[in-house]
Structure 1
Amino acid sequence: MGRAPPRAGGAGSSSRAGKSARRQAVGVAPGVLAVGRQRKRLQLPEQGCGHGEEQQQTRDLRTRFQHVFFGPNTKWLLDYVDELIAAKAPGGTVLDYGCFTGDLYGMLAPFRPARIVGIDISEEGIRQARARYGQFVEYLVMDAHRTRFPDATFDLVVGRSILHHLDWEVAITEVHRILKPGGLAVFTEPLGGNPAAKVIRALTPKAKTPDERPVVRRQIRFADELFGSNRHRYANLLSVPLAMLTSLGLKSPDNAILRAVDPIDRFLSRTPLRYWMRQAALVWTKTKD
């Protein structure tokens, strides 16, 4: 499972020299990174865990309000996640927690972990993941609440829009158990307080599954206390209603309106209004047993 991933063709480039240097240091081909990032950006933000009608309405939602999911403030959030993974994944043991069909492989592979494991409760999801990337990743059907891993197994646990489908305290406690001391947990999750996001959810009830519960402040505080150290980043407050509007009239999510509001949302992410934002990169380091 520690085999190197195949290199994709193309001459992708990074807009930031520092990131490019770091990726070269860990043996990352720019083309591989570009492919992985494109896959991640197009498929993963707030991917639903449902099937059939739920997934179709989720796709329709992203098509209708694409700027909400792919605007500058979201890019700022996902760039932060990239940086954290780039620093922790090389040579480490990584768990894709709630992997479904394995989409996160495209983000993890360029950073050359020694081992990647993916778990999901869905047998069909795991079947598809194995068909796609099984030669590089160990995919297992497993309940995320009660994994079969020994204590302190992983250097890094990552997940996208998975925790809000689970029993929060049980899942967080399990992630803490299987992380090594000093290990990192990185999850991108929707938050429950954003007014515009509530409108979107109300307009598209079939784009979610019955077990979904967007994350709230008390849940974050529970995890903060358990792990002992956190470096969260919050995104998309004012950007959300403006992105809903620009989705209807402008072609690109990287437009002047959303670029103008991006620094305002960055500032607000450091204030108590952060809990009203649409999503967060929830980041914990295990400093407490």
Structure 2
Amino acid sequence: MKPDIKTSEANFHDSLISQKARRERDFYTYESMQDIIKTQNEFLGDIKGKKVLDYGCGTGWLTIELLSKGAVVSSIDISPKSIEETIKKVNDFNFQNHSAHIMDCEDLKFPDESFDVICGNGILHHLNLDYALNEINRVLKKGGHAVFYEPLGKNPAVNLYRLLTPNSRTKNEHPLGKKDLIKITQTFSDYSFYYFGLFDCFSKIFCVLNLKKTQHALSRFLKKLDRKILGGETKKISFINTLSWIAVMKLVK
């Protein structure tokens, strides 16, 4: 990623912290994300006492989750204000075993095989995937695993939402496609995917329209339909799977 792009990314995410929240983030409410977060936690497994990297930590909520599970956590982000917010959260909860660093995810300053687990949410699609995967693989211990959830780029409802909210993201974001998922699998010895939001993401449009009761009712039905079609944990990267909103992935070195 070019220096001017890195600066743009850092400034954009600094501005989000300054604004506290954006209205469109209703699209990413806990209710809409709880199944995704549950799957992420299952993929993480028991991390008590393990060295974990929060890769692109944002405002630090994942860092808090990891620390609450007993992990020794290092948090990194290119945004100085994100790191400030993360440190504040950690101090508010009085957690120990934590360090935070302003750092480029494509150029990690950690020695080889530093971490048992690497975890990130919606970060890979901001990065040069080749550089990012090389660095993740380098600092991950042999037999260790990485867990990410990332947006995919083919769902028409999500793309409509992106069209309606152009100021909610940087110009450099690139939701992942089939070729990206294949590239990810080729970097690691083993992998698993769990896909979400093939149809359920259509209900999220009602968040933008501020019709939350309608969204919640529709979402319950569409989530069940998604599971019937998408199934559960899989190694498949099919056309139908890539039409999903989000892929949760576990990658084993």
Q: Specify the alignment match of 1:78 in structure 2.
A: 37
Aligned equivalents of 2:103, 2:230: Cα separation in 1: 35
User: Cα distance 1:214–1:57, how it changes in 2: closer, same or farther (>3 A)?
Assistant: farther
> How far is the alpha carbon of 1:268 from its aligned partner?
2.5
Could you tell me which amino acid in structure 2 is paired with residue 274 of structure 1? N
The answer to whether the 8 A contact 2:116-2:145 is kept is yes
Which stretch shows the higher mean deviation, 243-252 or 226-235? 243-252
The answer to whether 1:60 aligns with 2:60 is no
Aligned equivalents of 2:157, 2:31: Cα separation in 1: 16
The answer for unaligned runs of 5 or more in structure 1 is 1-47
1:41-90 alpha-carbon deviations (Å, 9 max, x no partner): xxxxxxx9634379859721133x467x733xx432221112222x2411
The answer to whether the 8 A contact 1:54-1:208 is kept is no
Alignment of 1:118-267 (within 5 A): 118-133=75-90, 136=96, 137-245=98-206, 248-251=210-213, 254-255=216-217, 257-267=218-228
> How far is the alpha carbon of 1:232 from its aligned partner?
1.0
**SS where residue 22 of structure 2 aligns?**
helix
Q: Specify the alignment match of 2:8 in structure 1.
A: none
Q: Specify the alignment match of 2:57 in structure 1.
A: 99
The answer to whether the 8 A contact 1:88-1:155 is kept is no
1:105-150 alpha-carbon deviations (Å, 9 max, x no partner): 222122111x110111222322332233256320012111111111
TM-score normalized by structure 2?
0.82
The answer to whether the 8 A contact 1:157-1:175 is kept is yes
Could you tell me which amino acid in structure 2 is paired with residue 121 of structure 1? I
Aligned equivalents of 1:90, 1:49: Cα separation in 2: 34
The answer to whether the 8 A contact 2:119-2:147 is kept is yes
User: Cα distance 1:252–1:56, how it changes in 2: closer, same or farther (>3 A)?
Assistant: farther
**SS where residue 180 of structure 1 aligns?**
strand
1:207-242 alpha-carbon deviations (Å, 9 max, x no partner): 001221111111111110110211111100111113
1:138-196 alpha-carbon deviations (Å, 9 max, x no partner): 00121111111111111110011111111011101110111111111111111111110
User: Cα distance 1:231–1:144, how it changes in 2: closer, same or farther (>3 A)?
Assistant: same
TM-score normalized by structure 1?
0.72
Aligned equivalents of 2:127, 2:70: Cα separation in 1: 29
Could you tell me which amino acid in structure 1 is paired with residue 118 of structure 2? V
Q: Specify the alignment match of 2:240 in structure 1.
A: 273
Tell me the percent identity.
29
Give the count of matched residue pairs.
232
Aligned equivalents of 1:278, 1:57: Cα separation in 2: 25
Aligned equivalents of 2:90, 2:65: Cα separation in 1: 13
